[in-house]
Amino acid sequence: MMEYGVDLNRIGFHDLGDIVEYSLEDLETSVIDAVNKLLTHGKFPIILGGEHSITPHVVSAYDDVGVVILDAHLDHRDTYEGMKNSHATASRRVSELTDELLICGVRSISSDEIDEELPQYITSGELSSMQDPAGYIDERVKGGSVYLSIDMDVLDPSFAPGVGNPEPFGIKPKIIKDIISRLSDRLVGMDIVEVTPEYDPGEITSNLAARLVYELIGSREGSKR
Ligand SMILES: [Mn+2]
């Protein structure tokens, strides 16, 4: 990572492999157990999905953490298709776990998810027209520790077509790079979700998601020097 002066080959990391079998029943305990174990050992969890519904389970393993969610969708429904834990209820579940939640890049809200307790959010249009979106988010989210959840559909589909619910007029990858770099000292965990390789034979989405993981590791290790 030339910008950060970091050689990724010299950074220790471990791929735990798939921690979730394809069953929503096992998902909650598998994710919470895995993240708890990592935090107990002082490790920095990077979770890759898959379903956005994993995020609330990950966040529940932290005490007192601010959460930034990058997502085209508000995901504020209380239930979706009868389920409490769904990709369409992810932000709602997270909002029950923290007082400090900011959802960024939103451009799709259903009328049935609008109620008086809407979470704080910024639209993709607002984010894209800001001079320094990363600085704005850093100042807006109070407290110390921050957990970052990246739903790849926050990006414009031209950069990340391989997602379940693509929404045009999304943000550019550089904004996410800047957010990761700006928040790197405050971050205590990160996930990248909704990558769906089956919808993207060119692997554009996976390639960008992988680079965002590199950006995270590079910016954190680089700032230690
Ligand atoms: Mn989404």
Positions in the chain short of pLDDT 70: 22-24, 225
**How far apart are the CA of 163 and the centre of ligand 1, in A?**
8
CA atoms of 192 and 210, how far apart (whole Å): 9
Report pLDDT for 157.
Answer: 98
Report pLDDT for 223.
Answer: 76
Question: 72: closest CA among 177, 164, 148?
Answer: 164
Report pLDDT for 87.
Answer: 84
Helix (H, G, I), strand (E, B) or coil at 141: coil
pLDDT, tens digit, 9 for 90 and up, residues 168-197: 999 999 999 999 999 999 999 999 999 999
Length of the chain: 225
Report pLDDT for 114.
Answer: 83
Q: Collect all residues with Cβ–Cβ distance below 8 Å to 148 and sequence separation of at least 6.
A: 67, 68, 70, 179, 180, 183, 187, 189, 190, 191
Question: Quick check: 33 and 68 in contact, CB under 8 A?
Answer: no
CA atoms of 29 and 26, how far apart (whole Å): 6
User: What CATH number does the domain located at 2-223 have?
Assistant: 3.40.800.10
Burial 206-215 (b: 16+ CB within 10 A, else e): bebbeebbeb
**How far apart are the CA of 192 and the centre of ligand 1, in A?**
11
Question: 209: closest CA among 197, 219, 223, 222?
Answer: 197
**How far apart are the CA of 131 and the centre of ligand 1, in A?**
24
**How far apart are the CA of 73 and the centre of ligand 1, in A?**
5
Report pLDDT for 117.
Answer: 81
**How far apart are the CA of 71 and the centre of ligand 1, in A?**
5
Q: The whole model's pTM is what?
A: 0.95
Beta bridge partners of 73: 108
**How far apart are the CA of 222 and the centre of ligand 1, in A?**
30
Which structure tokens are listed for 34?
């895995």
**How far apart are the CA of 165 and the centre of ligand 1, in A?**
7
What letter would DSSP give residue 119?
A: P
**How far apart are the CA of 15 and the centre of ligand 1, in A?**
25
Helix (H, G, I), strand (E, B) or coil at 71: coil
**How far apart are the CA of 52 and the centre of ligand 1, in A?**
8
What letter would DSSP give residue 186?
A: T
* Strand ranges across the sheet with 146-151: 46-48, 187-193, 146-151, 66-70, 101-106, 120-123
CA atoms of 151 and 95, how far apart (whole Å): 16
Report pLDDT for 20.
Answer: 79
**How far apart are the CA of 68 and the centre of ligand 1, in A?**
13
Going from N- to C-terminal start, the domains of the chain cover: 2-223
